[in-house]
């Protein structure tokens, strides 16, 4: 796939919907990540259909990208695929909340950036069963050699009392 800017020309939508396919470079997304567990080096692949609806633009399709992550439990690198399979965006072209139209074009990048960021994992984990760093006792895994301690119930302690009448 070739790299293309993600602009929709409204005049091309006057009579029919338009299909957009390609990749949006990471630099165009302008992601300002401050998370050392996530790196975004690969572009967003898109397959979208855009159509005019009265005074609005409807865009539907799929967005995919691959993140380079580091597991928060074991610190091993892994890749996580982000897939927005049924992505849709409804943009007003007129009114208070309308999107900017420059030279008859609407830029979809801000909406894609927002939805991609929302799909990022808050705490990337390589595997849900990851036990953490080897040789450490994480809070989620119990040491199997040591039996769990049970707290005696108050009733069990009262049953031990011997009352003379």
Which residue's structure tokens are 């692949």? 45
Query: How many CB atoms lie under 10 A from the CB of residue 29?
Result: 19
Whether 159 is covered by a domain: the verdict is: no
Q: What does the pLDDT look like over 20-75, one tens digit per residue?
A: 999 998 888 887 777 888 888 899 999 999 999 888 999 999 999 999 999 999 99
Does 164 map to a domain? no
60-113: pLDDT as tens digits: 999 999 999 999 999 999 999 999 999 999 999 998 888 998 888 999 999 999
Closest CA to 46 of 25, 74, 16: 25
* Inside any domain, residue 134: no
Let me know if residue 26 belongs to a domain. Answer: yes
Judge whether 131 lies within some domain: no
Is residue 45, in this structure, part of any structural domain at all? yes
- Count of the separate structural domains present in the chain: 1
- Looking at the domain assignment, is residue 48 inside a domain? yes
Cα–Cα distances (Å) from 154 to 18, 109, 147, 157, 158, in that order, read 72, 62, 21, 5, 6
Tokens of 131: 């036990």
d(CA 120, CA 81): 10
For the record, the structure tokens of 12 come out as 């091309």
Q: Kindly state whether residue 147 falls inside one of the protein's structural domains.
A: no
pTM above 0.75, yes or no: no
Residue 4 has pLDDT above 60, yes or no: no
């Amino acid at each position: 796939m070739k790299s293309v800017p993600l602009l929709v020309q409204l005049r091309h939508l006057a009579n029919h919907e338009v299909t957009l396919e390609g990749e949006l470079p990471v630099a165009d997304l302008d992601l300002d990540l401050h998370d050392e567990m996530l790196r975004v080096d690969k572009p967003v692949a898109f397959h979208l259909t855009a159509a005019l609806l009265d005074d609005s633009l409807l865009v539907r399709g799929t967005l995919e990208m691959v993140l380079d992550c580091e597991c928060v439990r074991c610190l091993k690198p892994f890749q996580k695929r982000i897939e927005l399979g049924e992505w849709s965006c409804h943009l007003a072209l007129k009114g208070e909340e309308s999107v900017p139209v420059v030279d008859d074009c609407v830029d979809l990048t801000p909406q894609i950036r927002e939805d991609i960021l929302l799909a990022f994992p808050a705490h990337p984990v390589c595997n849900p069963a990851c036990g953490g760093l080897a040789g450490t006792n994480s809070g989620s895994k119990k040491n199997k050699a040591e039996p769990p301690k049970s707290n005696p119930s108050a009733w069990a302690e009262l049953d031990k009392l011997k009352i003379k009448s």
